[in-house]
Amino acid sequence: MASLAVLPPERLKKPLAVPSRLLFGPGPSNCPPRILEAGAKPVIGHMHPEIFEIMDDIKSGIQYMFQTNNAVTLAVSGTGHTAMECAIFNSVEPGDSVVTAVNGIWGERAADMAERIGAKVNTIVAAPGRFLSNAEIEQVLAKHRPALFFLAHGESSTGVLHPLDGIGQLCHKYDCLFLVDSVASIGGAPLFMDQQEIDILYTGSQKVLNAPPGTAPISFSERACKKIFDRKTKPVSFFLDLKWLANYWGCDDKPSRVYHHTGPVTAFYSLRESLAVLAEEGLEKSWERHQDVAEYFHAGLENMGLKLFVKEKKARLPTVTTVVAPQGYDWKEITSFIMKTHNIEISGGLGPSVGLVLRVGLMGCNSSKSKVDMVLAALKDALRNCHENKL
Amino acid sequence: MASLAVLPPERLKKPLAVPSRLLFGPGPSNCPPRILEAGAKPVIGHMHPEIFEIMDDIKSGIQYMFQTNNAVTLAVSGTGHTAMECAIFNSVEPGDSVVTAVNGIWGERAADMAERIGAKVNTIVAAPGRFLSNAEIEQVLAKHRPALFFLAHGESSTGVLHPLDGIGQLCHKYDCLFLVDSVASIGGAPLFMDQQEIDILYTGSQKVLNAPPGTAPISFSERACKKIFDRKTKPVSFFLDLKWLANYWGCDDKPSRVYHHTGPVTAFYSLRESLAVLAEEGLEKSWERHQDVAEYFHAGLENMGLKLFVKEKKARLPTVTTVVAPQGYDWKEITSFIMKTHNIEISGGLGPSVGLVLRVGLMGCNSSKSKVDMVLAALKDALRNCHENKL
DSSP state of A379: H
d(CA A251, CA A232): 21
Closest CA to B179 of B139, B143, B147, B214: B147
Residues B46-66: b if buried by 16+ CB within 10 A, e if exposed:
bbbeebebbbebbbbbbbbbb
Per-residue pLDDT, A1: 63
Check CB contact under 8 Å for A46 and B213: yes
Residue A324: pLDDT above 80? yes
Average pLDDT over residues A179-207: 98
Same domain, B168 and B61: yes
* Amino acid symbol at A206: Q
CB B190 within 8 A of CB B287: yes
CB A47 within 8 A of CB A369: no
* Chain B hits for A113, Cβ within 8 Å: 237-238
Q: pLDDT per residue over B44-73, tens digit each?
A: 999 999 999 999 999 999 999 999 999 999
User: Which of B263, B279, B295 delimits the end of a domain?
Assistant: B279
Q: pLDDT per residue over B204-217, tens digit each?
A: 999 999 999 999 99
**Partner residue opposite A284 with nearest CB, options B4, B236, B267:** B4
d(CA B241, CA A332): 29
Check CB contact under 8 Å for A265 and B213: yes
* Chain A hits for B43, Cβ within 8 Å: 23, 28-31, 36, 206, 212-213
Average pLDDT over residues A349-358: 93
Same domain, A125 and A237: yes
* Chain A hits for B19, Cβ within 8 Å: 42, 44, 50
**Partner residue opposite B63 with nearest CB, options A6, A116, A192:** A6
Per-residue pLDDT, A3: 83
Give the burial class of B345: count Cβ atoms within 10 A of its Cβ; 0-12 exposed, 13-18 middle, 19 or more buried: buried
CB B218 within 8 A of CB B86: yes
Per-residue pLDDT, A391: 45
Cβ neighbour number for residue B135 with a 10 Å cutoff: 8
Q: Where are the alpha helices (DSSP H) in chain B?
A: 33-38, 49-66, 80-91, 105-116, 134-144, 167-173, 222-229, 242-248, 265-281, 283-303, 331-342, 369-385
d(CA B148, CA B122): 11
- In three-state secondary structure terms, A101 is strand
Could you tell me the CA-to-CA distances from A213 to A282, A286, B39 in Å, in that order?
22, 20, 12
CB A61 within 8 A of CB A270: no
Give the count of domains, chain A.
2
d(CA A153, CA A163): 7
Residue B390: pLDDT above 50? no
Q: Residue B391 falls within a domain, yes or no? A: no
Cis-peptide, bond into residue B9, ω within 30° of zero: no
The residues with which A177 forms a beta bridge, in sequence order, are A148
Per-residue pLDDT, B391: 45
Task: Give me the sign of the Cα torsion angle B259, B265, B270, B276.
Answer: positive
d(CA A33, CA A15): 22
Q: How many residues does chain B have?
A: 391
d(CA B202, CA B185): 11
Per-residue pLDDT, B3: 83
Per-residue pLDDT, A212: 98
DSSP state of B314: G
d(CA B74, CA B81): 15
Check CB contact under 8 Å for A264 and B267: yes
d(CA B89, CA B119): 10
Same domain, A204 and A335: no
Residues with Cβ within 8 Å of B314's Cβ and at least 6 positions away in sequence, in order, are B161, B163
CB B1 within 8 A of CB A189: no
Q: Residue A4 falls within a domain, yes or no? A: no
d(CA B262, CA B195): 34
Same domain, B292 and B329: yes
Same domain, A275 and A286: no
Task: Give me Rg for the CA atoms of chain A.
Answer: 22
Q: How far is B320 from chain A (nearest CA, A)?
A: 15
A26 to chain B: closest CA residue: B45
d(CA B270, CA B206): 10
Distance between first and last Cα of chain A = 63
The CATH number of the domain where A337 resides is what? 3.90.1150.10
Residue A15: pLDDT above 80? yes
Query: What is the SS3 string spanning A15-65?
Result: CCCCCCCEECCCCCCCCCHHHHHHCCCCCCCCCCHHHHHHHHHHHHHHHHH
**Partner residue opposite A8 with nearest CB, options B2, B79, B279:** B279
Check CB contact under 8 Å for A44 and B31: no
Q: How far is A338 from chain B (nearest CA, A)?
A: 14
Same domain, A257 and A148: yes
Per-residue pLDDT, B83: 98
Same domain, A243 and A341: no
CB A149 within 8 A of CB A178: yes
Check CB contact under 8 Å for B192 and A2: yes
pLDDT-derived band of residue B1, with 50, 70 and 90 as boundaries? low
A269 to chain B: closest CA residue: B16
Q: Residue A315 falls within a domain, yes or no? A: yes
Interface size, chain A vs chain B, as Cβ–Cβ contacts under 8 Å: 305
d(CA B61, CA A6): 10
Q: Residue A316 falls within a domain, yes or no? A: yes
Give the angle A282-A283-A288 at the CA atoms, nearest 5°: 105
Per-residue pLDDT, A390: 45
The residues with which A186 forms a beta bridge, in sequence order, are A189
pLDDT-derived band of residue B385, with 50, 70 and 90 as boundaries? very high
Same domain, B315 and B193: no
d(CA A256, CA A53): 14
Q: Residue A3 falls within a domain, yes or no? A: no
Same domain, A344 and A308: yes
Same domain, A151 and A221: yes
Residue B40: pLDDT above 50? yes
For chain B, the helix, strand and coil percentages under 3-state DSSP, each to the nearest 5: 40, 15, 45
**Partner residue opposite A42 with nearest CB, options B18, B44, B265:** B18
User: Which of A248, A279, A310 delimits the end of a domain?
Assistant: A279
CB A294 within 8 A of CB A315: no
Residue A389: pLDDT above 60? no
CB A282 within 8 A of CB B8: yes
Q: How far is A244 from chain B (nearest CA, A)?
A: 13
Closest CA to A247 of A225, A268, A265, A214: A225
Query: What is the SS3 string spanning A264-319?
Result: CHHHHHHHHHHHHHHHHHCHHHHHHHHHHHHHHHHHHHHHCCCCECCCCHHHECCC
Check CB contact under 8 Å for B50 and A350: no
Same domain, B226 and B240: yes
Residues with Cβ within 8 Å of A344's Cβ and at least 6 positions away in sequence, in order, are A21, A22, A24, A338, A374, A375, A378
Check CB contact under 8 Å for B239 and A27: no
Average pLDDT over residues B75-97: 97
Check CB contact under 8 Å for B78 and A239: yes
Q: Give the dihedral of Cα atoms B94, B100, B106, B109; nearest 10 deg.
A: 30
A50 to chain B: closest CA residue: B18
B25 to chain A: closest CA residue: A45
Q: pLDDT per residue over B215-241, tens digit each?
A: 999 999 999 999 999 999 999 999 999
* Chain A hits for B54, Cβ within 8 Å: 16, 18
Per-residue pLDDT, B389: 55
The CATH number of the domain where A50 resides is what? 3.40.640.10
Q: Residue B2 falls within a domain, yes or no? A: no
Distance between first and last Cα of chain B = 63
**Partner residue opposite B2 with nearest CB, options A1, A195, A212:** A195
Q: Where are the alpha helices (DSSP H) in chain A?
A: 33-38, 49-66, 80-91, 105-116, 134-144, 167-173, 222-229, 242-248, 265-281, 283-303, 331-342, 369-385
List of E strands, A113-235? 120-125, 148-152, 154-155, 160-161, 177-181, 200-202, 216-220
* Chain B hits for A288, Cβ within 8 Å: none
Q: Residue B15 falls within a domain, yes or no? A: no
Got the DSSP string for B246-279?
A: HHHTT-SS-SS----S---HHHHHHHHHHHHHHH
Check CB contact under 8 Å for B116 and A1: no
d(CA B261, CA A80): 8
Check CB contact under 8 Å for A9 and B77: no
**Partner residue opposite A19 with nearest CB, options B50, B109, B190:** B50
Per-residue pLDDT, A98: 98
Query: At B102, phi and psi to the nearest 5?
Result: -105, 105
Same domain, B223 and B368: no
Q: How far is B351 from chain A (nearest CA, A)?
A: 10
Q: pLDDT per residue over A287-300, tens digit each?
A: 999 999 999 999 99
Best interface-test mutation with A: which of B3, B23, B206, B238 has the largest number of A CBs within 10 A?
A: B238
- Average pLDDT of the residues of chain B: 96
User: Which of B259, B279, B299 delimits the end of a domain?
Assistant: B279
Domain residues for the domain of B173 are: 33-279
Q: Residue B14 falls within a domain, yes or no? A: no
| % residues pLDDT > 70 (chain B) | 99
